[in-house]
């Protein structure tokens, strides 16, 4: 076999515009993808983080992502998330492409959130509150602008310098942007939670009835970014029922507290295929843990 070429992060970002990634997720949902068919994420704990393995297959392609998460890496001047993605032809299982896994994740996660927002958020949503200042936070600003008329961004973070830099970046992109506190959710149409926090970021009792919350920061059943009040007041949308019950602390913890029933969870596929309608009078929560079918759907646009 000839040497397999590698697409670095810059090349991945250049070749997969956010709008293309969002449409790839929509197309996968409409085409009959079964998120439950993905094997459970394999997690190998190490002394300094985790190694994750995420495979998936469709009639046209197969793919596997190997990702590492080292929480102390930013203090070392290194990315917290690193990895590679291998795309294969489904018929012959011939490797087709090797690409930067962190760059793929940084695109597909906000693309999934934006596809969900496109299905559940009010059409006129323009005010975004984003928790976090890292690559996922910026990716969500980019992605949500594709599907909704986002014009105002409030940035909430722990590091004042990073918040200020993020605000400047938003302003340079033509947005009205400011720093804020968690109380800003009271005026938000969209709330994007893109942090590594293991505790709730805001008081869900302050959400407006039309608000949509997108929580993507954790795939740990014992960690959450939103509180029980948020879950109690929202219709809760997930990628896959069983995966959410296994990995989504934002869902599992309220369920164990009796604030949510498992049969109340709504899947993205049910919404995308018109099998379920939402109540316009209540806020919405989309809880994503990230799944292998999403990586494959986005990576396959490069084939």
pLDDT tens, position by position, 127-170: 999 999 999 999 999 999 999 999 999 999 999 999 999 999 99
Q: Is the confidence at residue 253, as pLDDT, over 70? A: yes
- pLDDT confidence tier of residue 279, bands split at 50, 70 and 90: very high
Question: What confidence score (pLDDT) does residue 71 get?
Answer: 86
Residue 213 tokens read as 């919350």
The arithmetic mean of pLDDT across residues 65-76, rounded, is 92
- Indicate the range of 33-42, 56-65, 143-152, 155-164 predicted with least confidence: 33-42
Question: What confidence score (pLDDT) does residue 173 get?
Answer: 97
Residue 183: other Cβ atoms inside 10 A:
13
The arithmetic mean of pLDDT across residues 205-214, rounded, is 97
Q: Please answer whether residues 215 and 244 qualify as being in contact, where contact means their C-beta atoms are separated by less than 8 angstroms.
A: no
Q: Are strands 49-57 and 42-46 parallel, antiparallel or unpaired?
A: antiparallel
Burial class (CB in 10 A: 0-12, 13-18, 19+), 6: exposed
Mind giving me the DSSP string for 77-122? TS-SEEEEEEEEETTT--EEEEEEHHHHHHHHHHHHHHHHHHHHS-
Domains of the chain as residue ranges with CATH: 6-104+294-302 (3.30.1780.10), 109-291 (3.40.50.720)
Q: Is the confidence at residue 264, as pLDDT, over 60? A: yes
Question: What confidence score (pLDDT) does residue 5 get?
Answer: 81
Average pLDDT, the chain: 95
Q: Is the confidence at residue 32, as pLDDT, over 90? A: no
Q: Is the confidence at residue 116, as pLDDT, over 90? A: yes
pLDDT digits (tens, 9 = 90+) for 177-206: 999 999 999 999 999 999 999 999 999 999
- pLDDT confidence tier of residue 2, bands split at 50, 70 and 90: low
The whole-model pTM stands at 0.95
Q: Please answer whether residues 154 and 180 qualify as being in contact, where contact means their C-beta atoms are separated by less than 8 angstroms.
A: yes
As a whole-number percent, the residues of the chain with pLDDT over 90 amount to 92
Question: What confidence score (pLDDT) does residue 271 get?
Answer: 94
């Amino acid at each position: 076999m000839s040497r397999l070429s590698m697409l670095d992060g810059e090349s991945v970002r250049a070749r997969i515009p956010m709008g293309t990634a969002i449409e790839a997720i929509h197309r996968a949902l409409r085409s009959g993808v079964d998120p439950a068919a993905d094997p459970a994420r394999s997690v190998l704990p190490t002394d300094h983080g985790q190694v994750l393995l995420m495979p998936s297959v469709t009639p046209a392609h197969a793919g596997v992502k190997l990702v590492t998460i080292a929480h102390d890496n930013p203090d070392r001047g290194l990315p917290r998330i690193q990895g590679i993605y291998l795309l294969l032809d489904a018929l012959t299982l011939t490797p087709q492409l090797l690409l930067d896994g962190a760059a793929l994740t940084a695109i597909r996660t906000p693309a999934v959130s934006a596809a969900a927002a496109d299905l559940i958020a009010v059409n006129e949503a323009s005010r975004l509150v984003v928790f976090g200042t890292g690559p996922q936070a910026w990716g969500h600003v980019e992605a949500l602008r594709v599907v909704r008329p986002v014009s105002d961004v409030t940035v909430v973070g722990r590091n004042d310098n990073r918040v200020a830099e993020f605000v400047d970046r938003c302003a340079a992109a033509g947005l009205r942007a400011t720093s804020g506190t968690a109380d800003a959710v009271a005026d938000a149409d969209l709330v994007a939670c893109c942090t590594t926090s293991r505790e709730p970021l805001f008081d869900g009792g302050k959400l407006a009835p039309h608000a949509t919350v997108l929580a993507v920061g954790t795939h740990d059943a014992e960690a959450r970014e939103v509180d029980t009040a948020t879950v109690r007041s929202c219709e809760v949308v997930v990628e896959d029922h069983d995966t959410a019950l296994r990995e989504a602390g934002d869902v599992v913890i309220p369920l164990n507290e009796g604030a949510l029933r498992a049969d109340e969870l709504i899947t993205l596929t049910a919404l995308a295929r018109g099998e379920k309608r939402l109540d316009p009078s209540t806020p919405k929560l989309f809880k994503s843990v990230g799944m292998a079918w999403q990586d494959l759907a986005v990576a396959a646009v490069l084939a």
